[in-house]
């Protein structure tokens, strides 16, 4: 018997029909099982967790049958309390399934600490933009008798700071620069000698 004649035999067509019935039944069972296990049609609105501490977040999410995971801390934001939620994914108001993870970014305890750049020996005009670009604030600018008009010293809260010292971003730095007066005195002396 050839292969093509076998395809049209009563026994083969009967087996093919049984296979199709079983396949359809398994498909319906699978779809029913998926609907049951994925809670199809059920959803929970994500609560607004902004400015909440972790204790309060845990309490709110437990009531909503949701979980949380902390992402890396974000940059410090002074408008939010320390260690509170400043960002969440998914956002508040989105609809999610039961037991869904909400990813949180927490506000750190303060600004990150940044090392002081090399500005000694540079003019005030060069040093100011460098410090501002790093995120520092410029405090009092003092002049001291010196041969040049370059930055001589940096201070933070009255203490002298050196290159590489780490202080909080947005800290106020006082700058002490030379006034170039000693250079003029030497020039005047040279003129008098001639």
What would be the CATH architecture of the domain defined by 44-106? 2-Layer Sandwich (3.30)
Q: In the chain, which ranges are E strands?
A: 44-45, 67-70, 85-89, 95-96, 101-106, 113-115, 137-144, 151-156, 159-161, 166-168, 172-178
Give pLDDT tens digits for 21-80: 999 999 999 998 887 777 666 788 899 999 898 889 999 988 888 999 988 767 788 888
Domains 44-106 and 113-193 share a fold: yes
Q: What is the pTM of this model?
A: 0.54
CATH class of 113-193: alpha beta
Domain-wise residue ranges, the chain: 44-106, 113-193
Give pLDDT tens digits for 105-155: 988 877 888 899 999 989 989 999 999 998 899 999 999 888 888 999 999
């Amino acid at each position: 018997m050839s292969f093509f004649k076998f395809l049209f035999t009563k026994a083969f067509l009967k087996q093919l029909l049984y296979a199709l019935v079983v396949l359809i039944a398994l498909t319906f069972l699978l779809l029913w099982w998926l609907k049951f296990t994925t809670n199809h049609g059920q959803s929970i609105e994500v609560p607004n967790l902004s400015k909440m501490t972790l204790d309060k977040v845990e309490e709110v999410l437990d009531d909503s049958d949701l979980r949380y995971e902390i992402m890396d801390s974000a940059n410090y934001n002074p408008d939010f309390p320390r260690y509170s939620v400043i960002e969440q994914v998914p956002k508040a108001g989105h609809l999610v399934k039961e037991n869904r993870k909400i990813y949180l970014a927490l506000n750190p305890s303060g600004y990150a600490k940044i090392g002081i750049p090399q500005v000694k020996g540079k003019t005030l005009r060069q040093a100011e933009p460098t410090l501002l670009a790093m995120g520092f604030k410029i405090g009092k600018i003092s002049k001291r008798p010196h041969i040049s008009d370059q930055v001589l010293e940096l201070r933070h809260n009255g203490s002298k700071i050196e290159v590489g010292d780490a202080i909080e971003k947005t800290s106020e730095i006082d700058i002490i620069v030379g006034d170039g007066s000693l250079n003029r005195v030497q020039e005047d002396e040279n003129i008098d000698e001639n």
